[in-house]
Homo-oligomer: A and B are copies of this chain.
């Protein structure tokens, strides 16, 4: 039964996903709160291997030490009972009104300092629970008005904060890796580091760039109408795909957080194929958690919540099954060859060839003939669709 998830599939969910009470900008909550302990048990039953959280998801903002300890004890017990792990932890720097102009890049220095303390403290918890990755989503780092944010200074402050965080982890022996999660907008009119590309560029400027990667999210890139599989491929090429958020989205509109595969199905197929098999001509695969960062639709009750959690994993496994068949099909391999897809792995210059050699090698090339060649891309793509649909 290949569509039954197992721990080896490394499926993980945020507490805030199945626990979302479905309050949206125009409506009240339609579901009651979910006990984190129940979430652990239920997700384990469904086949997940991990659970993740923002500090405030698990321990409500402002809890005293006693409540905190009680909550943590119960949560750890649930993990022990189920064998579930906490592969990633993240910090809420967006819900409380104090963060309304950002955390690390708020125009209010007191807030910036507070945000940094909040993350440092959460790292203690992350380490304690064995998390390997800390995700950094700067959802409020941005502006509605161009004059309201000094982007140059903001990037300085962002870097400052991330350098402190890295030092703290290293000094304490936490061994955490950090994954920046880009998003173009919402809740801010424009968010800093809006795409996978901007985040990848940014992290090169840090003191310890090797500790930083990205956590791209399907819907976030698609809100800018970018090709998500392409963005992930570039992240892998940089060696920076440290974590991934899977969900569904229908192009540039509000952040929908649908079930994975319930948005752009063809691109989801390409993504799973890439994560599982690497690029056709070789290249790294992704072996971290398959993390679902979605929201069960507001129309659903808890039966629907668990059905939607299961649907995420089912979609991934379905796409994986089809991608395996696609890769294994000799007709596909022939078509990839004919289309030149596999040839692209071959360097443009021969080994040892210089640009002088290249410049001299002008005679053999017939530009018009090269322009007349058919690449057979539509046929190749139809083969992929046929495998996806098992036609």
Contacts and interface: CB of A to CB of B under 8 A. Distances in A.
A236 interface: yes
Contacts of A264: 250, 264
A119 to B, nearest CB: 10
Contacts of A147: 270, 273, 280, 336, 341, 380-381, 383-384
Given A253-B186, A265-B265, A377-B300, A391 B201 contact: no
Contact of A281 (B98, B152, B198, B269): B152
Nearest to A298: B100
A189 interface: yes
A314 B382 contact: yes
A174 to B, nearest CB: 13
A360 to B, nearest CB: 9
B253 A253 contact: yes
Contacts of A224: 184, 195, 224-226
B381 A148 contact: yes
Nearest to A308: B378
A7 interface: no
A260 B224 CA distance: 22
10 contacts: A25-B254, A27-B99, A113-B358, A114-B367, A146-B267, A155-B233, A156-B237, A157-B348, A196-B198, A225-B253
Contact of A365 (B110, B121, B202, B258): B110
Interface in A204-242: 204-205, 223-227, 229-231, 233-234, 236-238
